[in-house]
Every structure is written in structure tokens, then in C-alpha cells.
Amino acid sequence: MSDDQSRQIAKQPSLRHLEQLMAQFLDGVILIDTAGTIISANTAALRMHGVSSPSQLGQTAEEYAQRFSLRDASHRVLKHREYPLFRLLAGETFPDLTVEVMPKGEEDVRWIHNVRDVTMDEDGGDPDCLALVISDVSEQFNAETRFNAMFQANPAPALIISMRDQRISQANPGFLELTRFNLDDVIGRTVFGLDLLGALAEPHKVKRQIEAGEVVQQAEAELLVKDGSRRLVLFAGQPIDVTEDDALLLTFADLEPRRLAEHALAASERHLSSIFEIAPSAMVLTQEPKHTVAMVNAAFRALTGHDDDQAVGHTMDALQLWESADHHAFANDEVRKTGGFRNWDCRLKHRNGTRIDCLVSAQTVGLKGTTFLLWAFHDISERRRSELELVEAIEAVMKDASWLSRSIIDKLATLRRPAPPTGHAELSAREREILELVCQDLDDAAIADRLSISRNTLRNHIARIYAKTGVSRRTGAVIWGRERGMGARSG
């Protein structure tokens, strides 16, 4: 052999060169010869097995199998001939193999390795040296394990779509319970192949985002159920990187109960609207704070002469319904203090100016998530006219009946008058004092002078007396007071 040939051989890579190269790798490398003897292992490979020297791995593939237990990705215990080192010696290739590794005798997995084979030869013939290249993917698999546990335990319905083939790879129990599909009904199918999402506002945009693995903003859809029906849901998509492949997580919120409740509420409100419209008493719905009219019924239109166009959207003040501003002020005050009142005797005005005697009630109500005030007006004009006619007839007869006492006349005049309402009959001391003087037939000027108060103050007191006693004029107040023993003193 010439000196040049010797120098050339000396320059060829040696085991020492390989070990120096392997030491720079982040991946682990185990070298074995074709007889199964472990020649070398770099620091990364030792760390991935929890040892500090190659000898602790074992001298041979057989000793390695005696010191370490391996399982496949589905947690099945591998036989020795299924170990990557033995498959490497058998001439098998495995460019991407995942195994779980633990020291012999332990049950808990210590490491998860992704391994691949490498063969080396000098002349392109039989391999001279074999290498097992190892990547530690324990953290990735631990994260994936935690994610899968959370995914399965999460009550919110969810799907995972693999971006490799656009097919559903996982469905959690929440999704299966919501749709009543079996797992086999959806795994391996595509979202749009199953027609899971119907009634999308922007179907082409959502399909493009899902196929591209992009974020899908929250949107409503009709989710297919196994029996062919659909449920209203709110869904969104988010790319995730905790699975082996790129994936998209779709989550769903069930809106069907809300939709059913809304439909039931709408049906109830339609029913109430029908009752409102055909009610025999005049009724108005107004909205705070200005008592803007939202709705009137047929009886109100007939009673006041105001149709929908003239009433709806206008305030009660603009309609000029109340004959007396004091009455209107009292009604607003009672609503503000107590939320409503019942059977208050007052007088309204028809659109043509005709006066209408009414019993008014008001109550706050909630409709469509908004607070309204419901007004009810019961027309008692005919009854009031009958009462007045009776009083006039009695007074005409009594002009020549001096033998009949005035108290009997008062009793006869009120025979047909219903019992006065008691809801507003708690008079203050000043109101009782004024009513005493009214029942003694004193006019406003005399009463104001007697009590040393202004005429305006007196009128305010009298308006409150009318409201509390349920009357609308002085004659009614006199009758109410005398029934209770007032006015007995001489003027």
C-alpha cells in the first residue's frame, strides 16, 4: 500500500468523528452494529433514557429490552421484537414512530419518543452501521393528553377538525349529547359533507375560514341533529396546536331554549294584544318618562275619538285627555308613588270637546323587556247622568215638601249612587276641615277667608279631596261628606 493510500484511509471518518458529530445534535442518537451491539449513544439519547453513560443503556439490543419497557402510541405494551432497535436490526424502516418509554418494572410512562431509522454503509451494499435517531416529544404529548382530557370533560359541545384532510377527528360528549349523533356518525366526515351548519349568514366565508384553519368569528347557525331537525346555536372556531396535526377547534353554545322562549313570549304577547284590542273598556299603553302612547284599543278610539295615527307616538298631555290639570297631576303622582291606582273618579275630554265621566285605573306592566303603564277608562257618563236626573227630579218634588227634612232629601238623592270608593278616603286634618265648610255650603272665597289661605291653595286641597273621595264635582263631595256626618254645624 502506498503512502498516499495510507494517508487517504487515515483521513476517512472514524467512530470518534461520528461521536463528535453526534454530540452536537439536539436529537438523541444510538449507534448499533448489525450484530445488535450498542456502539455508542450521544448525551441527548442518554438524557432521554434517564442514564449517564452508554453502558447503562445495555451492551446489546437485548440488554436494552431488559432494562426498558416500551408501549406504542395507543399504550399497548410492545414485545421485544417490536422495539425500534430490533426492527432496525431486522431491516425495517420507520420514518415516524412514536413509543412510550419507562424503566423496567415501572408502570408510569417517563418519556415519549419519536424515533426514525438511519442505515450507513461504505459501498452501497449491506449496512455497516445502524442508527436510531430519537426526538423527545414528552412535553408535546403531555400537553395533548391534558388537552384531550379537558376537551372530553368540557360540557360545551365541541369538535376538532384536522387540517390535513378537513375531517372531524374528535367530538366531545357535549356535542354528541346535543346532536344525539354517535361518534362513528361524525368521525372521519367533513363539516360541510354532513351539512352540520345550516342557515349561515355568510356560508362561503365560513367555509373558507374552516378549510384554511383560520379563526371563525362567533356566528349563529342551525346545527343538524341526528333526527334531521336543527337547533339554533352560536359557534366559533379557533386554530389549535396541541394535537399531532394542525387542527381547528369548533365550539358551540345551544341557543334553542332561548329561541323557544322567545317564540313562546311572542305568542303570549300576540295573545295579550288580541285581548287588549277587544277589551270592552278603553285601554292605553304608555311608556315612561313622558307617558308616550304606544298602543290604544278599539274601545279607547271609540270613547275619545283619537285613532292610532292621532294617539300613538304622542304624549297623554298632547292628547289633552284630562279636563282638569289637577286630575292629571294627581294621576301621575299616584303612579310615581305606588305604581298605580284603581277606580279613580275623574272627567276626560273627547276629541270634539265633549266631557266624559270615567273611572280610571292604572298599573305598571312589563312587555318585550320594557316597562309600560297600562291605563283603563270605564265610561260612567250614562250612570252619572241618571244620578243627576234623579237628584234634579227629587229636588223639584221637594220644593213643596217642607215637611221632609233636608237629611232625608240627601239620603234619597244618593239611593242609587254606589258606595264611594275607599282607596283614597284618608283625608288629612286640613282636608277634613275644608270639606266640613264645603258641606256647610260656603263658597271658595268664604272658605279661603275663614282659613286664611289663598284661593290657589284651596283649589289644590279641593282637587285632592275629589281624588280621595272618588268624586269629580262639588255636589258629589257634599254628598260624600254628609253621608259621614260632616256639615252639621251652622255656618
Looking at the structure, tell me whether residues 285 and 195 fall in a common domain.
no
Query: Across the strands, what pairs with 390?
Result: none
Looking at the structure, tell me whether residues 291 and 371 fall in a common domain.
yes
Burial class (CB in 10 A: 0-12, 13-18, 19+), 257: exposed
For residue 301, the Cα-to-chain-centroid distance in whole angstroms is 39
Q: What does the DSSP assignment read for 105-150?
A: T--S--EEEEEEEEEE-SSSSS-SEEEEEEEE-HHHHHHHHHHHHH
φ/ψ (deg, to 5) at 275: -65, -45
Cis link prior to 239 (omega < 30° from 0)? Answer: no
The beta-strand segments (E) located in 9-67 are 28-32, 38-41
Q: Is residue 489 part of a domain?
A: no
Last residue of a domain, one of 227, 257, 287: 257
Site of grid cell 286634618: 429
Half-sphere exposure of 83 (CA within 13 A, CB side): 21
Alpha-carbon distances, residue 269 vs 183, 265, 339 (angstroms) = 42, 6, 22
Q: Is residue 228 part of a domain?
A: yes
Q: Is residue 3 part of a domain?
A: no
Q: How many distinct structural domains can be found in the chain? A: 4
**Angle at Cα 49 formed by Cα 45 and Cα 50, nearest 5°?**
115
Looking at the structure, tell me whether residues 20 and 130 fall in a common domain.
yes
Last residue of a domain, one of 136, 169, 189: 136
Looking at the structure, tell me whether residues 19 and 120 fall in a common domain.
yes
* All cell numbers assigned to 53: 453513560
Q: Is residue 465 part of a domain?
A: yes
First to last CA, the chain: 157
Q: Are 436 and 447 in contact (CB under 8 A)?
A: no
Q: Is residue 6 part of a domain?
A: no
Half-sphere exposure of 278 (CA within 13 A, CB side): 5
Q: Is residue 82 part of a domain?
A: yes
DSSP state of 490: -
Structure confidence at residue 77 (pLDDT):
94
How far apart are alpha carbons 39 and 131 in whole angstroms?
A: 10
Looking at the structure, tell me whether residues 287 and 367 fall in a common domain.
yes
How far apart are alpha carbons 345 and 378 in whole angstroms?
A: 10
- Confidence (pTM): 0.43
Looking at the structure, tell me whether residues 231 and 127 fall in a common domain.
no
CB atoms under 10 Å from CB of 358, counted, come to 24
Among 204, 205, 199, which Cα is nearest to 222's? 199
Q: Are 341 and 334 in contact (CB under 8 A)?
A: yes
DSSP reduced 3-state for 370: strand
Site of grid cell 426526538: 135
Looking at the structure, tell me whether residues 132 and 29 fall in a common domain.
yes
Structure confidence at residue 8 (pLDDT):
44
Q: Is residue 72 part of a domain?
A: yes
> Which residue numbers in the chain have pLDDT < 70?
1-15, 17, 19, 23, 123-124, 242-244, 368, 391, 394-425, 488-491
Looking at the structure, tell me whether residues 349 and 409 fall in a common domain.
no
CB atoms under 10 Å from CB of 208, counted, come to 12
Last residue of a domain, one of 224, 257, 290: 257
Q: Is residue 107 part of a domain?
A: yes
Structure confidence at residue 343 (pLDDT):
86
Give the range of the structural domain holding residue 58, as residue numbers without chain letter: 15-136
- Helix locations, 217-285, DSSP H: 256-278
Looking at the structure, tell me whether residues 437 and 449 fall in a common domain.
yes
Looking at the structure, tell me whether residues 246 and 290 fall in a common domain.
no
- CATH code of residue 46: 3.30.450.20
Find the farthest-apart pair of alpha carbons in the chain and give their distance in angstroms, rounded. Answer: 168
Looking at the structure, tell me whether residues 354 and 458 fall in a common domain.
no
- CATH code of residue 434: 1.10.10.10
Looking at the structure, tell me whether residues 326 and 354 fall in a common domain.
yes
